[in-house]
Structure 1
Amino acid sequence: MDRRRFLSRAVGALGATGLGACAAPRQRFEDRLGALRDPLAADCYGLTPGIAYLNHANIGTVPRLVGEAHRGYLEACETNPSHYMFGGVWDAAVQAAREGAARYLGCRADEVVLNRNTTDGFNVLAAGLALERGDEVLFSNLNHVGASVCWQHFAGQRGYVVRKFELPLPAVPDMNEAELVDRHVKALGPRTRVLVLPHIDNLLGVRTPVARIAAAARQRGVEFVLADGAQVAGMLPVDLANLGVDAYCMSPHKWLQAPKGLGLLFLSRKIQPKVTPQVVTWGQHKWEGSVRRFEDYGTRDLPALLALGDAIAYQQAAGIERSAMKRATLWRHARDRVAAEPNLIWRSPRDWNLGGVLFAIEVRGAAAEPLAEQAWERQRVVTRAFPAPGLNTLRVSPNALNTTAELDRLFDVLARHTPH
């Protein structure tokens, strides 16, 4: 299918219906995206020329066309704010964005919550599930703090137990899938009711075999398997219908390159009746039995939600498989560069099927934070220092718009460092 025909389905499904004065920015977006030769080209983004931005795991960069469409919706909104915010004229367009997200994620639209971020999603779950004294919530030391502290907070009120088990971080590069599954399964206890898994963690970039672990956990009596997809949605293809989880929390401002402050939360139809909404508004009764009862927290940024639909359409137009292949190429280039430098240590999985374009590099005898500063000062490369117990690493996270030449600028700094 050519790009214009694809866009008539992906973007046209969002369409002008319900947009009113916003039909113009949506149409401009569709026309200009259809005319792009390569949506992954660096000049399709607004980064300052010369910057090698390798920190997409922290916060992504919005494509120019998505940003322009977002501004168009904002400008239209300001022509008659109450009409656009509360008049229902954008209801169909917001629903189309939800349906686009569902298609992208491989689930049903009535399982998609349009929320604020991954942390928001886990707070909905931690506050809304009826856990009791004697229940256990289990996660590993690779679990993100935003997917951890909410459980610890409510445990003190309700009397359930939160337990964290340790994965040996220095051993991660040589772990295989069977070992990862085995370590998770052995950590399960007789009272484990909730298992929280990072699909890809934010420290070392371990791609957890979620489906296998979820199946094994169910066999051992775990009721709820919840996954953190903040570092996967947009980085790798996702098929939630076959992942075996009850909930999947996402931050599309990272790899999906959507406007900041937006989240996606997959809640399976099975778990929805077991989660109590924690924000109750005047219109809550309207959403009884609907997934929307988990996202109604009053006035929100509707123009950004419309742009979320555009961001997903942009990723689809760029090619999900093509983008994933390019990310794999960047990952292999980085792994091989580290292997060729005796003073560098690769701290992430060496198997692409267990990793992603979020990886950790250590320089022997060097602190991570000064190295990140040097990378910026010498080569205008943006990374993140990410030390952890027993590790002192730089976290590097390129996206499909990046190049191997940009990675080489980073390695030019790292390879020149003399160990102490």
Structure 2
Amino acid sequence: MSHSDAILARLMSLHPKVIDLSLDRMHRILAALGHPERDIPPVIHLAGTNGKGSTQAMIRAGLEAGGARVHAYTSPHLAHFHERIRLAGELIAESELASALEECETANDGQPITFFEITTAAAFLAFSRSPADYTLLEVGLGGRLDATNVIDAPRLTVITPISIDHTQYLGETLPEIAGEKAGIIKPRVPCIVGPQQDEALRVIEARASGLTAPLSVHGQHWQVAPDRDGIIWQDDHGLWDLPRPNLIGDHQVQNAGTALAALRELGATEAQARAAVTRAEWPARMQRLTRGPLIDAAAPQAELWLDGGHNPAGGEALAAILGNLPPRPTHLVCGMLNTKDVTGYLRPLAPHAASLTAIDIEGEPNTLPASDTASFAKQVGMQAGTADSAQDAVQRITDADPRARILICGSLYLAGRILRENG
């Protein structure tokens, strides 16, 4: 166990609730640390239900292509906690992470604080000590009361598509959830708005109007559309004719549109726009696996894919990708959390799956038991069974069909475990 892992394990015990949305504890620890959040490079703050990570990855690729140094904060991590914090483009070093976490632990002095809050404070501390041109800050959950929402005057806010998720924290209806996400909009700070349903957009527009924050909205101020083998992005000032995004899936065209609108607001060139869509890196989003024990367990002609999407919009995006891949029997290996809308996620995937093998997510207290995942899959019309592990599932599937396409899916926590073992 590394030094930072030991500190992270201690921090988990400071507040028994995993999620407790409030900014009070955050303001307290930041004051005790001397307000590092006031001393970080200009912030681009991203909220939304789907596409935050991909959109952030594309903005980063575009800014870095222009020579900018970019800090980035994202969650959750897949294989290692360090992935959450990038300093000027590089993952935070173990020594810097351990020292920032220790300072936050000392400043917090044993008081209740959630794991996400104290680790966000550590990220601000690290960002404040390392020179860069921009800070990309991804909301953890919601927006209004999220631990990242302590930046008074960001350079830009971005709201990616909103759908219904995390109802136990953010509200039951789309307008309620949109109200939470729109909580990142700040007075007179431009806000880029990705594709939204009308009732979500109305809430965002009302909030922006009350704060005189200029909006740049998909479908009103800018458009994006696939075109032959590329995409066309345009606004009132002109048009960019660009390659298809290197991140796979039709939904990445919309995410690219939002990223390009943000880059346009930041004065990016067409060369930067091109880099944004061709150089973004975002693991566990329809990622092809090429090495590791799972590949060894599979037949040589089999295809192995990994995707971390987990809500109904994630299921729809994945179904669209599967519908566009060359035909081949596709078998899902699926592990999910018990907090998710499982049938909502699986229903769009049902027409594309020859079978589903459910597994528990090892080491995850909130895993949905494999037998439950399998019964949900049967409810939406899939052939479904269970296996003891991903390796067991892969072996069984490829014994029956050596040319199978296998997609491991259902949770970022499962994707992280798979990447740690096969990445």
When normalised by structure 2's length, the TM-score is: 0.28
When normalised by structure 1's length, the TM-score is: 0.28
